[in-house]
Chain A
Amino acid sequence: MEMVCIVCPNGCLLDIEGSGDDIKVKGALCPKGIEFAKTELQDPRRALTTTVATVFGDMPRLPVRTADEIPKADLLDAMKKIKTLTVKERLHEGDSVCEDFFGTRLIATADMTRQNINL
């Protein structure tokens, strides 16, 4: 079977033979492609990037991501959980928005504290 490695912008087209741990991967420009093929076949995972509502008028949404990848099948449930969250304090990039989020943390990917000088 064929699949596209999504680890980097090269997007290598992988040609896979076999199943389970015992697979042969052709077309990968680097070892990450082989690893990707293995997990993609057994336990496909994705990073979720989205936004969470905030109470701040100047920044109504805070961009967030999962610190690690989560099971692909959980993506839509994760979005449901996101809708229940509201950020009530000004966070820095990297701060936790939710400590326990589908086996990982949900973290802020932008800074909410900077003030610009408007001359």
Chain B
Amino acid sequence: MDNKLINEYDLVVLGGGPAGLAAAVAAKENGARVMLIEREENLGGILKQCIHDGFGLVLFKERLTGTQYAERFLKKFYDLGIEHMTNAFLNSVQRLPEGGFEFVIQSAKGMVGLKSKTLVLACGCRERSARQVFIHGERPAGVFTAGTAQYLVNIMGQMPTKKCVILGSGDIGLIMARRLSLEGAQVEGVYEIQKSPAGLARNVSQCLDDFDIPLHLNSTVSKVFGQKRLEGVEVCKVDENYKPIKGSERFIECDALIVSVGLLPENEVAQSLGVEIDPATKGPYVDQELMTDIPGVFACGNALHVNDLVDYVSQSGHLAGQAAARYASGDENRIKVEYNSEDFLYVVPQYFDKNKEGEITLYWRSKADHRGKKVAIEVDGRAEKSKKYMRLLPSEMQSLTCTVKADVGQISLKMLDG
């Protein structure tokens, strides 16, 4: 029983953004064996492309850029020597009947198998795309989500547009309006269907007002033009039911439409495991320690619900990591009560928690009618308690009690000839 596989962990953390990093650090600091899996080349999650500042005011009382904020957690993560894989894709994950999870990971060097006692989902969120918004017309090149535009400009150093229109006034869209303006593109305007902006007031001020970019409320993009590449869009005003107002249409020539219409938790893996999803948050249902309805599966960060501030994302990762480490160590201290199923129908409880040494009472039923049998609780091979029974019947529950110490290796219920 002791030949532990080297690839067996207390936690597998899925996702290396701020939530996953905080979870991994917290679990490691609690003595857990942690493996973090990230599908991208580098750790840091969405923060890698968040070069703007405004992060960390809650946790650090400082205005950091997203990359600086990530750096604080990355330092801890690397200092603790936490095992991780990048460029690693989760091929499959399965719940094991005895508890825990088995993973198949596709990495640069082929398939890797892993086992863990717990799984922390820290997969972040995805952007709602233009497809999820109703716009007439083809889907020519030049329609991006704001996050994609941010990736192209900030990570790749590529300019996706010379003149663009932004649909939606979420923070990412506002941040990109400023970013593209600084890089020399013309941002014709931001069009928001609601009557007030979706993003923070400070971002309307420092990203739009500073660069004289107009914000059009109660407005939307109604058509896109162009076959291969976007050539322009039609914008219009909407009424209180979000219906286009006839006669308010306006054509704008542009080579890109940047869409910033919200984020949704990424929960493909949660769903493949059968974790129940709350239709209100679009993330899993969890308890106060962020455990989902599947024992041993935890969720944190934007995979749980979309957070405005990364500080809260890190806090939730910390909580989930701590709880998962505790859960895993509890599990490790649980030993199964063994019995021969030829002799007994069942034995309850099925597990002994070594953290709670002391008395254990086993309730059991014999499998068949017996006369003159002895039944014993053996602890590490020694009969701690035994009793002779004149008659045993499956319909009659019996019980035996004995004291067990924390250093126990094996508990079993035995039926012997009296």
Contact = CB atoms under 8 A, between A and B. Distances in A.
Interface of A: 3-9, 11, 13, 46-51, 53, 60-61, 63-65, 72, 75-76, 79, 93, 109-111, 114, 116-119
Contacts of A61: 154-157
B355 interface: no
B52 interface: yes
B71 A116 contact: no
A114 B78 contact: yes
A50 B109 CA distance: 35
Interface in B193-238: 200-202, 204-206, 210
B239 interface: no
9 contacts: A6-B205, A9-B54, A47-B53, A61-B155, A61-B157, A64-B51, A65-B51, A109-B65, A118-B87
A79 B183 CA distance: 7
B86 interface: yes
Contact of B109 (A7, A79, A119): A119
B206 A6 contact: yes
Given A4-B201, A11-B201, A114-B78, A109 B85 contact: no
B182 A50 contact: yes
Given A110-B67, A110-B71, A117 B206 contact: no
B71 to A, nearest CB: 5
B108 A118 contact: yes
A34 B339 CA distance: 74
B51 A117 contact: no
Interface string B107-127: 111001000000000000000
- Most chain B CB within 10 A, of A47, A50, A114, A116, is at A116
Given A11-B200, A119-B88, 13 more contacts: A4-B202, A8-B57, A47-B63, A50-B182, A60-B156, A60-B157, A61-B157, A93-B67, A109-B67, A110-B48, A118-B107, A119-B85, A119-B107
Closest 7 CB pairs of A and B: A11-B201, A63-B51, A11-B202, A4-B205, A6-B202, A110-B67, A61-B157
Interface residues of B, number: 45
B133 interface: no
B53 A65 contact: yes
B41 interface: yes
B41 A116 contact: yes
B95 to A, nearest CB: 24
Nearest to A82: B182
Contacts of B74: 111, 114
B334 interface: no
A36 B210 CA distance: 15
B325 to A, nearest CB: 22
Interface of B: 41-43, 48, 51-54, 57, 63, 65, 67-68, 70-71, 74, 78, 83-88, 107-109, 112, 153-157, 179, 182-184, 200-202, 204-206, 210, 308-309
B57 A117 contact: no
A46 B86 CA distance: 36
Contacts, number: 106
A110 B155 CA distance: 12
A33 to B, nearest CB: 11
A50 B183 CA distance: 9
A46 to B, nearest CB: 7
B87 to A, nearest CB: 5
A9 B154 contact: no
Contacts of B112: 119
B310 to A, nearest CB: 11
A72 B210 CA distance: 9
Given A79-B183, A109-B68, A110-B67, A53 B51 contact: no
A98 to B, nearest CB: 16
A119 B7 CA distance: 12
Contacts of B201: 4, 11, 13
A49 B309 contact: no
A71 B71 CA distance: 27
A63 B69 CA distance: 13
Contacts of B204: 4
Contact of B51 (A11, A72, A75, A109): A109
A9 B309 contact: yes
Contacts of A4: 201-202, 204-205
A9 B71 CA distance: 21
A118 B399 CA distance: 54
A96 B267 CA distance: 40
